[in-house]
Amino acid sequence: MANIDIKHDDALIIVDVQNDFCRGGALAVLDGDSVLAPINALAPHFPVVVQTQDWHTPDHVSFASSHRRNAFEVITLPYGPQVLWPDHCVVGTGGADFHPALHVPNVQMIVRKGFHPSVDSYSAFVEADHATRTGLAGYLRERGVGRVFVAGLATDFCVAWTALDGRRAGFEVVVVEDACRSIDLDGSLARAWQDLDAAGVGRCQSDELLPGLPVPDGADRASSA
């Protein structure tokens, strides 16, 4: 384990740490609340900090209820396969709020995604149609960012897609493994790590960035993928 120096052109992207993805939420990620401690500890050390917020219309295309189907079924939409989720992160609801224990006073940019009713967006950079950009790449470039660290929920969906699109946009990307938790639907976590490795996305633990920070139990270590 090597220490990693946080540099002046590093950014931290905190993905979807919202009530609906945490304990008691509509789409709760197992042990999702465990990302709070490492993220709260890491964020103050980054010169650029971005949060993403899943932000859906009530009738969103990614909701099983919109298709009278069961949650976690997969359907084909014009832009490709779409996992159908329970209704979550609906605009203006408490479930869409950031977790109250997320404490990131130096967040500078909040990217809302998934607000087009007919397009989902796991990625903070490009929506699921692979065409509609959120503007985040331009924002990071204008801030002079070269390397982005990604943490949050969930490893195998919004974190992975954000990391992959960050690479495609030309950034060096590192996933902070113990500051993420996964959904792991039908092997999705292993597939995500294959894709991340193939794309050249790095991985680290939060204590490599902050020596002395305890790594919580149950983190999504590479060995479990």
Contact residues for Zn ion (CB under 5 A)? 54, 114
With respect to Zn ion, which residue has the nearer C-beta, 183 or 189?
183
From 113, 178, 180, 204, the catalytic residue: 113
Whether 186 is a known active-site residue: answer: no
**Cβ 203 to Zn ion, closest distance in Å?**
24
Of 87 and 208, CB closest to Zn ion: 87
Q: How far is the CB of 86 from Zn ion (least distance, A)?
A: 10
Q: Give the Cα separation of 146 and 203 in Å (integer).
A: 16
Give 4 or 26: the residue with its C-beta nearer to Zn ion.
26
Prior bond of 154 cis (ω within 30°): yes
For Zn ion, the nearest residue by Cβ is: 54
**DSSP for 117-130?**
TT----SSSB-TTS
| Catalytic one of 16, 20, 87, 184 | 16
How far is it, in rounded angstroms, from Cα 17 to Cα 52?
A: 8
Q: Which two tokens stand for residue 15?
A: 């993905």
Residues 220/177, Cβ–Cβ less than 8 Å: yes
Catalytic residue among 89, 158, 180, 204: 158
Q: Which is nearer to Zn ion, 10 or 127 (CB)?
A: 127
User: Annotated catalytic, 113?
Assistant: yes
The angle subtended at Cα 215 by Cα 5 and Cα 100, nearest 5°, is 95
158 is catalytic: yes
Q: Which active-site residues does the annotation give?
A: 16, 113, 158
